[in-house]
Chains A and B, each alone.
Chain A
């Protein structure tokens, strides 16, 4: 077998197997370097895979050489390619920038463990994305969850601990619900392979267990994806985690759960359950709308910059769900694109926050006055990513807003209502982003600014790069759009 054939496996294995090695690299610089190298390699692999599946083909890899329903197989299609890009990109970027901030927040003797856990989280997320086996997804979900609990718990503030404990409880409940659902489906079909499940669910006569299973899986994954009413763990966890960890997790963690949710509902249930599409929409759309409106409203009144952005993440999840719940190719394209663009925007924002946090201990808005004068580049990057989050034309965020609105337009009578929701959400985004911008630029400084200067160059460069990407993908979004399109087509035809 040539290397390309092995890539899906390597995608997972590279970070996974380098994690234990990192523990042994005692001098902390080495640990960081090793972790970053591994992350970069896996990002490169992800790029290669994305280019390979750009033409809509699917790469399949049989673990241990055992054929599909019996062994575990990995499969990479255009949808997973997008997620791979998001996850590995976020991992690589945040690790690349992480060192100064992490040195500041975590004692050097604990850093090898920390970076190793970080790599584990990365590999877990990647493993979920490429896996084509229901139970294998559970295993990797647990790897990523445990690892993310660890890296969140690295937060210096003591409030990190209750926050992450709550996350642990809710995350485990979610995973167990998922496990129950998978068990019920296995009981009715006798298989764990997703494609095989779909094939065999068709001729299951007693549908009740499958319905219950669908319910369990959807709720469990919604819990992990912080879908609106189940999001309570997000704000604290994001707020008190180490800043770079927030960058990484906010960019990709919940999205992966969302990805599994979409995969299941479209590739397994949609085709087999009678008018599941309708039930799904009826169940998800209200949550999405409520999520957008309420979470944005909360964000408008948050006083702490990280909490504010965390709430906005919940709202953004709502946008993705909204697109998904339209059960149409444009809607799914919009969702897939929004996954990508939001990762860019939110990652950039949190990177900028990390830059600020490197200088400002207290991240409440009223403490950040006059930051722009001292840290012009950071604030500029922040503004750009903020505009992208709002969806101002010329930035990446605009593309997905555009797709979403046009999808809503085509979705029939209730389309205008959805558009209204989307626009109101965007206006709220204008409000909360602008609150931060005014604080940064026009608020009177409170801290003694003698010592405050620009963030370390390492951090700053990555932040700037992400900001520029936000603009680049706003003007030349062809590649992600192509992936999103074929992903949507894939899912829909999977649903037929």
Chain B
């Protein structure tokens, strides 16, 4: 099919899928899961079908509606978005495989609502990935927030509802109070919000305002969880593990950092921003977030909360990489999105698998669990190493590019931050690995084996991806280099 329609299909398909899931849910779980699987498969087919067009420099775009002059709902495919879309669609398949195992293993209720909202969230994600201008991005961003709310509040008991309230509250209010005015401001001074290579604000804005606008954007996009807008992420840990995976790896937080990167690259333009001293604070902010989040993670005893804070840190890697404002760093940013996605989803799957199999949620409970759940813990190990950035894992590649960018900009703060955080990551992951593999499980622990097969399959897949990304990342790098092509 021609790319223009492909874009629309990619966005509409999950919606149709959601409908199908609701209907199929009336018939029976198996049909429903089948609907999910079919949808995600066909989505992958559609999205990845766009790759070739992109590789030879095509930028297919389609406009849906012009609300008012200059303000349109339009979608364009460009490398950053392509990467994000491909990533999300791919991980959705794996995630659904895992969710089936998890949800059934846990006998959760309202599974139909769960899968339907999941599909909706994916549709919004596709929208974000292909958004052709700020307004469309904002539209899909809000849709994503709203469609994930039921997922976070899935359990429905008072505590969960309270946390879900924090989730929706932070995300909605930041987006309305900061993101929206930033967008409108951009439209009023630039007359348009289309994502164009090299930015649209160049020369339209003076120095202090640049910093202000950047701040509105960065803090307005609460999904990026730059401190102090990170509160929602730990709160959202009440959600079932597949949802956490969705939040952390597949869609939500990625959407945040993706949006920031895209705005920096296509709205401000990195050279314009690099020239503006008042944009420096973003780097410091990100660095600060990385260090602090890692320190907090160090003190966590609950596995999922630990992972949450590590996510916050990792996200700020991407933000910081983008804020270095050098081509290599931008590539690094996009790579790190992928790398972190693979690593973190593996970790969450593992944590979820442990919970399903043994109902263990605390770090100290993991003593010797490696013997009971070898596969799971192996995957966990790979994920953890990738987080730290040890070869041969994905994390290494992205960190390499980011460091390269940092040196190119000879930005010592960035370099220092990366090294320090690497040490910290090691400091909070290695003990877990040690405990899991080499310590003896204390007596009286209840007998349990591996998690349900589907779950284990999924997490092994992601672990493999984590490794594979280290070896075969050529095409992706080439693709992403197109973003900064022509920039020194």
Interface residues of A (CB under 8 A from B): 387, 390-394, 399, 401-403, 405-406, 409-410, 419, 423-424, 426-427, 430, 434, 438, 441-442, 475-478, 481
A409 contacts B176, CB within 8 Å?
A: no
Closest residue of A by beta carbon distance from B168: A434
Does A402 contact B177, Cβ atoms closer than 8 Å? no
A430 close to B184 (CB less than 8 A)? no
Residues of B within 8 A of A392 (CB): 142, 146
Q: Is B2 an interface residue (CB 8 A)?
A: no
Given A426-B176, A430-B176, A475-B67, the answer on whether A394 and B188 have CB atoms closer than 8 Å is: no
Task: State which residues 132-147 of B face A: CB under 8 Å.
Answer: 135, 138-139, 142-143, 146
Q: Does B68 contact A (CB under 8 A)?
A: yes
| Given known contacts A402-B71, A442-B161, A427 and B142 CB-to-CB distance under 8 angstroms | no
B153 within 8 A of A: yes
Q: Which 7 A-B pairs have the closest CB atoms?
A: A393-B139, A442-B161, A423-B177, A405-B184, A409-B188, A427-B173, A394-B139
List residues of chain B with CB within 8 A of the CB of A442. Answer: 153, 156, 161
Report the separation of the CA atoms of residues A122 and B30 in the bound assembly, to the nearest whole angstrom.
Answer: 54
Q: When chains A and B are docked, how far (Å) is the Cα of A399 from the Cα of B180? A: 12
Contact A393 B153 (CB under 8 A): no
Q: In the complex, what residue of chain B is closest to A426 when comparing beta carbons?
A: B176
With A392-B146, A423-B176, A434-B165 as contacts: A402 and B184 at CB distance below 8 Å: yes
B397 within 8 A of A: no
Residues of A within 8 A of B202 (CB): none
- CB neighbours (8 Å) of A387 from chain B are 146
A477, B176: Cβ atoms closer than 8 Å: no
| Residue from the list B64, B156, B173 in contact with A430, Cβ < 8 A | B173
Q: Which B residues from 28 to 67 make CB contacts under 8 A with A?
A: 64-67
A residues less than 8 Å from B438 (CB atoms): none
The answer to whether the Cβ of B185 comes within 8 Å of any Cβ in the partner chain is: yes
Judge whether A405 and B68 touch: CB under 8 Å: no
A326 to chain B, nearest CB (A): 14
In the bound assembly, the distance between CA atoms of A316 and B180 in angstroms comes to 19
Asked if A394 and B143 make an inter-chain contact with CB atoms under 8 angstroms apart, the answer reads yes
Do the beta carbons of A410 and B188 come within 8 Å of each other?
yes
Q: A393-B138, A430-B172, A434-B168 are in contact. Are A399 and B146 (CB under 8 A)?
A: no
Contacting pair B68 A477 (CB below 8 A): yes
Contacts A399-B68, A426-B176, A475-B64 known; list 16 others, CB within 8 Å.
A393-B135, A393-B142, A399-B67, A423-B176, A423-B177, A424-B177, A427-B176, A430-B173, A434-B168, A441-B153, A442-B153, A476-B65, A476-B67, A477-B67, A477-B68, A478-B66
| CB of B373, distance to nearest CB on chain A (Å) | 34
25 A-B contacts, Cβ less than 8 Å apart? A387-B146, A391-B176, A393-B138, A394-B139, A399-B67, A402-B71, A402-B184, A405-B181, A406-B184, A410-B188, A423-B180, A423-B181, A424-B177, A426-B177, A427-B173, A427-B176, A427-B177, A430-B172, A430-B173, A442-B161, A475-B64, A475-B65, A476-B67, A478-B66, A478-B67
Cβ A438 vs Cβ B188 within 8 A: no
Q: Which residues of A contact B168 (CB under 8 A)?
A: 434
B73: CB under 8 A from chain A?
yes
Q: Cα distance A419–B139 when bound, in Å?
A: 20
Measured in the bound complex, the distance between the Cα atoms of B176 and A387 in whole Å is 12
Contact A475:B73 (CB < 8 A) given known A393-B138, A423-B177, A427-B176: yes
Is B400 engaged at the interface, CB distance under 8 Å to the other chain? no
* B470 interface hit (Cβ, 8 Å): no
Q: How far, in angstroms, from A475 to B74 measured CA to CA in the complex? A: 12
Give the residue name and chain of the B residue nearest to A410 (CB): B188
Taking a contact as CB atoms under 8 Å apart, the answer to whether B142 and A406 are in contact is no
Q: Are A406 and B187 in contact (CB under 8 A)?
A: yes
Note all chain B residues with C-beta closer than 8 A to A402.
Answer: 71, 184
Q: Which of chain B's residues have a CB closer than 8 A to the CB of A405?
A: 180-181, 184
Minimal beta-carbon separation of A478 from chain B (angstroms): 8
- With a cutoff of 8 Å between Cβ atoms, the chain B residues found around residue A478 in the complex are 66-67
* A401, B139: Cα distance in complex, Å: 14
Pairwise interchain contact A419-B165, C-beta atoms closer than 8 A? no
The distance in angstroms between the C-alpha atoms of A393 and B64, with both chains bound, is 15
Residues of chain A within 8 A of B146, CB atoms compared: 387, 392
What are the residues of chain A within 8 A of B135 when measuring CB–CB? 393
The reply to whether A419 and B181 contact each other, CB–CB distance below 8 Å, is yes
Tell me the smallest distance from the CB of A428 to a CB of chain B, in Å: 10
Q: Which of B156-177 contact A (CB under 8 A)?
A: 156, 161, 165, 168-169, 172-173, 176-177
The distance in angstroms between the C-alpha atoms of A495 and B168, with both chains bound, is 44
Residues B156 and A394 in contact, CB atoms below 8 Å apart: no
User: Bound complex: CA of A401 vs CA of B146, how far in Å?
Assistant: 19
**A481 and B68 in contact (CB under 8 A), knowing A409-B184, A423-B180, A442-B153?**
yes
Once bound together, how far apart are the Cα atoms of A442 and B188, in whole Å? Answer: 41
CB distance from B134 to the nearest CB of A (A): 11
Could you tell me the distance between the alpha carbons of A434 and B169 in the complex, rounded to whole angstroms? 9
B142 to A394, Cβ gap below 8 A? yes
What residue in chain B is nearest A427 (Cβ atoms)?
A: B173
Q: How far is the CA of A393 from the CA of B146 in the complex (A)?
A: 11
B161 cross-chain contacts in A, Cβ below 8 A: 438, 442
Who on chain A is nearest to B160 by CB? A442
- Is there an interface contact between A406 and B139, defined as CB atoms closer than 8 Å? no
* Cα distance, A442 to B159, chains bound together (Å): 11
A393 to B138, CA, bound (A): 7
Residues on the B chain within 8 Å of A426, using CB: 176-177
Residues of A within 8 A of B176 (CB): 390-391, 423, 426-427, 430
CA distance A392 to B142 in the complex (A): 7
